[in-house]
Amino acid sequence: MKLTKRFIAIAATALFVLQAGPAFSADKIKIAMVVKSLGNGFFDAAHEGGKEAAKELGDVDLIYTGPTSATAEAQIEVINSLVSQKVDALVISANDKDALVPIAKRAAQRGIKVISFDSGIAPAGRILQLNPSNSALIGAKLAEMAAEASGGSGDIAVLSATAQATNQNIWIGELKKALAKPEFSKLKLVATVYGDDQSDKSYREALGLLRSNPSLKVIIAPTTVGIVAAAKAVVDEKLVGKVFVTGLGLPSEMVGHVKSGAVKSFAIWNPIDLGYTATYLAHAAVKGTATGKEGEQIPVGRMGKVTMEANGEAAMAPPFTYNAGNVEKFAKIF
């Protein structure tokens, strides 16, 4: 029974690989984008970016594929098939950074260039990793959006996830560094609270901020759970237009809060740009102009250049800003 199920799973995976794109042209670079799972709006958008890059580059055949379930085992089956097809490059968003290293090494031994994006493969299995952004860029973006929402001055507060959340604490630290700059000198951070990435607790903490800080102008929530809860609290307290919420959120969850006026703008990575940039990097890797060496600057079309850091990673860009002008478009994607 188990063998039968496994055979069906492998057959289904192979079918998805075969259906993923057009037949390869002999004179073109074959780049395979392997995502965590098919049917995910975020990665469908990354595919659109990849197709845009392939069209601009002109010498790329792009295959888009992934497993039907977001597991390392299913992803390995997909990659195995692509190695057999002798693609030139793999662009992978990993379901497990360590589990994919052996198959990635096998691909490299066959002359295939392996890079990761979004969710990285461990360094031993890839040339480079493309991160959507980095901590300094995120902190600066949070300060910029708070300044825009507040009109450039006033009291602001942070609603975070847990007090132990490493990424949240780093981002808040970078936010504080940004707030120390002259252009943000009129913004005053009066409180930081923690909603533990739970909707109910985040909502209660947001209410506490609003009620204990009557002069508050902005709540910054660098968490997709917290930003939704804070926006709801502002609406429920009838403070729309007086207090604004910003931070990191998903367009599909934030579109209503932008329409209500509780949120002027928020940010998160743009998956279209991510797929576009990753495809350019894979092309450069095949051409030998991207090696992952520290300080290397790699042109990536309309996104400018990415600069390689000491750990073989690169940051694409500041988080992408969403507002009333574009949120509905992206809400249909993710």
Domain-wise residue ranges, the chain: 2-133+271-317, 135-268
Q: Are the CB atoms for 334 and 45 separated by under 8 Å?
A: yes
Average pLDDT, the chain: 92
pLDDT at position 310 is: 87
Hey, what CATH topology would domain 135-268 get?
Rossmann fold (3.40.50)
CB atoms within 10 A of CB 31: 30
Q: Among candidates 288, 271, 286, which has minimal Cα distance to 60?
A: 286
Q: Give the pLDDT confidence score for residue 14 in this predicted structure.
A: 39
Per-residue pLDDT tens digits for 49-83: 999 999 999 999 999 999 998 999 999 999 999 99
Check if 2-133+271-317 and 135-268 are the same fold: yes
The CATH-assigned architecture of domain 2-133+271-317 is 3-Layer(aba) Sandwich (3.40)
pLDDT at res. 2: 34
Residues of the chain whose pLDDT is less than 50?
1-22
The predicted pLDDT at position 15 comes to 41
pLDDT tens per residue, range 116-152 = 999 999 999 999 999 999 999 999 999 999 999 999 9
Q: How does strand 113-117 pair with strand 129-131?
A: parallel
The model carries a pTM of: 0.81
Interatomic CA distance for residues 239 and 163, integer angstroms: 27
